[in-house]
Structure 1
Amino acid sequence: MEIQEIIGFDLGHGETAVARAVVESIEPPEMLEINNKKVQITALGWHPELGYLVGEQALIQAGVTQLDISFKQKPNNDPNYRKTIQNFLTTYYHLLKESKQIDVGEGSYFYVGCPSGWSVSDRQAYQKLLQEAGIPSINVVPESRAAFMQAKEAGKLEYEKLQSSALIIDIGSSTTDFTLVKSLSEIPVDFGSNVLGASLIDKAIFAQTIANHSDKELLERVFTKYPHHQARCELACRKAKEDYFSNEELYSNSQSFARGFESINEQIYFIPQVNKSVMEGILNQPLPELANKSWMEAFRYAVNEAKEKLKQQGIVPRVLLMTGGASRMKFTRFICSEIFPEPETQVRPDPEPERCIALGLARVGRWDLRASAFKQEVNQLLDSNKLKNLIEKHIPELIELLTKPLVDGLIANAVQLALKDWQKNKIRTLADLESTMKQRAETWITTSGAQQIVKSQSVAWFNSKIQPELAQETDPICQMYQIPRSSLRFEEGIDPAVVNPDLSIGDAILAETVGFIVNVVIGSGTVGSVIALILTGHLTWPIVLVYGASVLAAGVEITRSKTQQAIKTNVDVPSWSRSILLGDSKIDSICQEIRPELEKVLKEQLTGNQAAFDQLIEKVGQGLKSALSSKVQEAIILIQ
């Protein structure tokens, strides 16, 4: 069955949230509800009559005899862990289908997040574990990628930042993950054993509450015998922590406290409480899990280490995205801003970190499908003969654009200069004039001036002939995926080599044309025909009349062709008469007269050199494919 919707499933250590995105829509994903809440505490309870319960229901339902919280971790072979994960996901899946919030058939594809620090094998093992819960289609992707996608599609990242680098800091309940994202490719920034999670703060509050409790020993016995009571009390500590960081100003007074509450029975209560003084003590106390660093010290150390590792690679992130529920703690934002100061890096905390990953996962899944289909559409165009036929169709216009400026250049830099040198007696015979003209033509064709003519005319050809018809093929693809048409265009009037380094039409044409233009000019007798034209129209009979037949070799029969050849080979016209025979005005006249002939010969030779143009069509086609492929990689960032 075709995939109709993507379900972003953020199974977090502390909280779980689910979002849904319709594949064929660019509307924002919607949050789904369990127990009438969009975000649930990650809790799984067992009730003898009601079966498995999740989230708040597992906490408040009377009669729950078993309660598991904070159970997300790297996949392992512990049967209790595997059973808990599978039962939690199965129950969630059943509730979503029962409430008809997701497709009851097989049109749903689940994207589940994991810490970016997990290896590929960890992801694969986790995905297999989740599939055993009975959900047919699941893909596990890094949560950092989801955070980046959510920021991108929520309009928090401008296009240039999408193309540059972003550092994502995901402060979760069990870990703090650092991930560098460059053009949607995520690179985890590893800083060793990662146990820097906000649940350590919960545990510290829990330990302090027990230590100060009047019934400490009784509580410890209850927790040992009834672990679900301890789980509830740990959640009460989390509640106190979250309340404090949501309203820090309220609890700066020594008499004000953020509190949690849990009743063990009618006589025993567990009431964790924190204010500014208490929290500062907890955040700065050494913790064995953090190698005796305090939580605040370990976080600062981790952010600094991430910065140093990026610095070694020459990377300064343009933006730092903060997500995860613990990113609400103001001191984490302060530390990040201090270590990554503006304007080099902009620190942007997500305003709804508890929903960010679920929404981002839904967006990632939809993007994956749409981006894949988009690339397939473009590849079909590239694999067809349309590009080749398009280029081949417009080769005559390219020849037309090349001919006139090349002829102008050849006349100015080869013909005219050579004639002037003959006029000034720098060249002895007309045969020498011919060889000099050929040499200068060959030299000029390979100069930067001639090459610039080929490049500029090639660009003009591409912009006026190829680009408009290419746009007719690419515009509908862009429209289908609702991205700007310019995404697959090479903007008219701009050198494609500037727009995209992979596409230098001028270079491609230059490489193939210069060689055979030289052959056309030299090998095909084009310059020879110019000399013949000069002799026939301007020099042969004037020379004969001035010097007489005696200047010719003895015994040569006086015919037109033989006279021309003899003059060309043998006659060294005296310098005093050269300016008379070939004055400046006559040189200009000759250049004007031979222009049409040279254009005709050059065009005929270029048109007839099919083998060279076959190579040119192939080379330009390959360059165009490569450039379009690069543009596809840029364009997919814009797909929603």
Structure 2
Amino acid sequence: MKVSEIIGFDLGHGETAVAKAPAQSIESPQMLEVNHKKNQITALGWHPELGYLVGEQALIQAGVTQLKIAFKQKPDEDLNSRETMRRFLETYYRLLKESKQIEGGTDSYFYVGCPSGWTLDDREKYQHLLESTGIPLLSVVPESRAAFMQAKEVGKFGYDQLKSSVLIVDIGSSTTDFTLVKSFHEIPLDFGSNALGASLIDKAIFARTLANHEQKVLLEKVFAEYPHHQARCELACRKAKEDYFSNEQIYSDSQSFARGFESINEQIFFIPKVNRQIITEILNQPLPELENKSWQESYRQAVNEAKEKLEKLGVTPKVLLMTGGASRMSFTRQICEEIFPEPETQVRPDPEPERCIALGLARVGRWELRASAFKAEVDKLYDSHQMKEAIARNIPELIKLITQPLSIALVENAVKPGLKNWKNGQIRTLADLESWMKSQAEQWLKSDRGRQLIDNKCVTWFNSSIQPEIAERTDPICRQFQIPRSSLRLESGIDPTLVNPDLPIGDAILADAVAFTINLVIGSGTLGSIIALLLTGHLIVPIALVYGAALVGGGVGLNREKIEDAIKEKLDIPSWIRFVALGDKTIDSICDKMQPELESSLREKMTQERQAFDELIEKIGHQVKKALHTKAEEVTILIQ
């Protein structure tokens, strides 16, 4: 199954819009038309001969006997509404296929929006309901995600804003939803019962117009017997509202009015009209649906509550994105600007809120398919064992990088101080000296300085030997998905406008290498045996030359092995001999000779530990895989 197109279906409470995006390219989505319009009133009508009609056709077609408008709601609240939503999508799907605007079947993947405040259970029920239309591929996603994706794709956000925090305020016909998008993750801000929809303003205009109508009683009887007439009149109120908020300056005069019009019959007309004075009164009148608060008061309270919730989270949004058709009402933007002032937060109304969600849904669907394919390519790269092979191939370089500075540090921090302490009589026998040096070397390796030295060399190794091999394999994946080729590289210092520069390479990927090196050098006895061997060889000759007669006089033959044992185990050499045998220059000479020998011995011993290094390769490989997954998660937002 190969999806060829993504359909973004914005089934709104007030209006519906549909967009299509090709699945395999990054071309911009295109709006689709029904009844020769890219936006339709969310209306479903029944005609005895023509069947189900949607949008404008349902409103104007003569002979329509049933009419439903503004019916989108949670799928478990009203059985009639469930059936209306299902029939509406089913009819839309048929019309889009008949007009050849979509392929249909498994070629088309539908992404349908829902309010961000809906729970996961609400979404699942809604998806199950919509799947009953027969559309084979369909997903329900929050409308806030669509708004965010649309804004991202058209360049509304910089990368720093994308990965920080964006507050989305979606003012729809039935609800007003607040969603925080932080580091690309959505966090709906729950306000309990959310009835703050712009359709309440339409209903208030309707109630005001009906109350003042000279044929009020007759109209009430008509509406009771023929509900579709009331639906048309409510739409006339909505049109008057939209006309007013599109041209507020024109209707600021008390004698100017934005009007709607609906004809009940040849003698009865329903003509809602509004201007600034009337709208101001309506926005400030108590509404039972809002617990007797006014619409404007409830909206201000909701925005304030959103700010309080964000403050508790320690978040100040860099951008406040307003969407939904009702975001065109200027006072909603002004309230947001008052409560979230610049420069801390930039308030950005979407220029085309009536199309934003449909276009964004198409982008979300395409993004999800491409992001899934992108992550699969990253997984395939690691599962091909290429990364492990690259790590194994470069292990000798890691050993080389570590042993040279390690041997220098051990001589400076363990060997040389030990020799000086033995010379000064603070250590009794050479056997005691070996034990002290071994203990001191182990302490230094476990110290912050020791760990830092190994860590730095491991990072150098990773960046110089492993990272280029990773880049060689990940850059083509980035090119394939048309994101910056550096997006999957793991080195630090990368352009912060493209990827996260804070991925801790040394800690996240190479901590195992550091711990392994310390444990290998200490735990296997490597360090102690090398120090003992080298120290004995370098100290016996100068001490024997000064103290040889005493050894002979003690009944010990001049056999080298016996002299070594005697010097190490039996003799507490007098201080004057120590000073003669080990002058400062002699100590420096011994240390200079020991360092390359210690380096060579460490390298040989570590190279022989093949099984241990196999375990290290596995561990580093696992960390590389985790790091690539982390980067993949971060940069998927850059995929179009």
The answer to whether TM tops 0.5 is: yes
Q: Which residue of 1 aligns with 2:46?
A: 46
CA contact under 8 A between 1:458 and 1:505: conserved in structure 2?
no
C-alpha contact (below 8 Å) 2:206/2:272 kept by paired residues: yes
Say if 1:375 and 1:632, in contact at 8 Å, map to a contact too.
yes
Q: 1:125 to 1:504 in 2, by over 3 A?
A: closer
599-608 or 457-466, which deviates more: 599-608
- 1:440 is displaced (CA, Å) by 2.4
For 1:184 and 1:572, locate their aligned partners in 2 and report how far apart those are by CA, in whole Å.
70
2:257 pairs with 1:253 = no
Tell me: CA distance 1:290–1:498, structure 2 relative to 1, closer, same or farther (3 Å).
closer
Q: 1:504 to 1:137 in 2, by over 3 A?
A: closer
| Kept after mapping to 1: 8 A contact 2:429/2:571 | yes
Name the counterpart of 1:124. 124
Per the alignment, residue 182 of structure 1 pairs with 182
Moved more, 164-173 or 450-459: 164-173
Match of 1:403 in 2: 403
Of residues 534, 537, 544, the one that matches 1:540 is 544
AA aligned opposite 2:128? K
Alignment of 1:240-389 (within 5 A): 240-389=240-389
Deviation of 1:64 (Å)? 2.7
Using a 3 Å threshold, how does the CA distance of structure 1 residues 287 and 16 change in structure 2: closer, same or farther?
A: same
The worse-fitting range, judged by mean Cα deviation, of 427-436 and 161-170 is: 427-436
**RMSD of aligned C-alpha atoms?**
2.2
How far apart are the structure 2 equivalents of 1:272 and 1:123?
A: 36
1:269 maps to a residue whose letter is: F
Q: What amino acid is aligned across from residue 22 of structure 2 in structure 1?
A: V
CA contact (8 A) 1:7 1:21 kept: yes
Query: Would the alpha carbon gap of residues 501 and 197 (structure 1) be closer, same or farther in structure 2, given more than 3 Å must change?
Result: farther
Matching residue of 1:461 = 461
Contact 2:540 2:567 in 1 (8 A): no
Q: Check conservation: 1:513, 1:612, Cα contact below 8 A.
A: no
Q: Look up the match of 2:504.
A: 500
Q: Given that residues 402 and 454 in structure 2 are in contact (C-alpha distance below 8 angstroms), is that contact kept between their aligned partners in structure 1?
A: yes
Query: What is the CA-CA distance between 1:273 and the residue it aligns to?
Result: 0.8
C-alpha distance in 2 between matches for 1:453 and 1:183: 34
Cα displacement (A) at 1:221: 2.4
How far is 1:6 from its partner? 0.8
State the 1:287 CA deviation: 0.9
Q: Which consecutive aligned stretches of 4+ in structure 1 deviate over 4 angstroms post-superposition? A: 519-524
**Cα 1:502–1:597 shift into 2, 3 Å:** closer
Task: Return the alpha-carbon distance in structure 2 between the equivalents of residues 501 and 320 of structure 1.
Answer: 34
Task: Specify whether residues 590 and 249 from structure 1 end up closer, same or farther in structure 2 by C-alpha distance, changes over 3 A only.
Answer: same
Distance 1:542 1:519 in 2: 37
Q: Which residue of 1 aligns with 2:615?
A: 615
Verify: 1:530 aligned to 2:534, yes or no.
yes
In structure 2, the CA distance between the partners of 1:29 and 1:592, relative to structure 1 (3 Å rule), is same
Q: Secondary structure at the match of 1:344?
A: coil
1:23 CA displacement = 0.9
State the 1:69 CA deviation: 1.2
Kindly provide the amino acid, as one letter, of the partner of residue 634 in structure 2: E
- 2:459 and 2:505 in contact (8 A); partners too: no
- Counterpart of 1:248 in 2: which secondary structure? coil
1:17-75 Cα distance to aligned partner (Å, 9 max, x none): 00001111112111111122111111122333333222122222333333221111121
Kept in 1, the 8 Å contact 2:456–2:506? The answer is no
* Residue in structure 2 matched with residue 448 of structure 1 by the alignment: 448
In the alignment, what sits opposite 2:497? none
Asked if 1:205 corresponds to 2:209, the answer is no
| 2:91 partner letter | T
Q: CA deviation at 1:553?
A: 6.1
8 Å CA contact 1:114–1:123 kept in 2: the answer is yes
| Greater CA drift, 77-86 or 507-516 | 77-86
* Partners of 2:524 and 2:587 in 1: CA distance: 23
SS of structure 2 residue aligned to 1:21: strand
| Residues 387-419 of structure 1 deviation map (CA, whole Å, 9 limit, x = unaligned) | 222222111111100111011111112222222
Cα distance in structure 2, aligned partners of 1:501 and 1:318? 29
| Distance in 1, Cα, partners of 2:7 & 2:178 | 25
Aligned residues of 2:551 and 2:557 also touching (Cα < 8 A): no
Aligned to 2:82: 82
Structure 2: how far apart are the matches of 1:372 and 1:261?
A: 50
- The CA distance in 1 between the partners of 2:47 and 2:243, in whole Å, is 29
Per-residue CA distance 1:153-181 (angstroms, 9 max, x = gap): 22112222222232221111111122222
Structure 1 range deviating more: 532-541 or 205-214: 532-541
Name the SS for the 2:364 alignment partner. Answer: helix
1:507 & 1:187 partners in 2: Cα distance? Answer: 33
Matches within 5 A, 1:94-133: 94-133=94-133
Distance between the aligned counterparts of 1:487 and 1:503, measured in 2? 20
Please tell me whether the aligned partners of residues 6 and 20 of structure 2 are also in contact (alpha carbons under 8 angstroms): yes
Which of these residues, 512, 517, 540, is aligned with residue 513 of structure 1? 517
- SS of the equivalent of 2:52 reads strand
Confirm or deny: 8 A CA contact 2:492 2:501 kept in the other structure. no
Confirm or deny: 8 A CA contact 1:520 1:605 kept in the other structure. Answer: no
Aligned residues: 635
Please identify, of 240-249 and 582-591, the stretch whose mean Cα deviation from structure 2 is larger.
582-591
Q: Structure 1 residue 151: deviation in Å?
A: 1.4
2:249 is paired with a residue of what secondary structure? helix
Structure 1 position 606, deviation (Å): 1.1
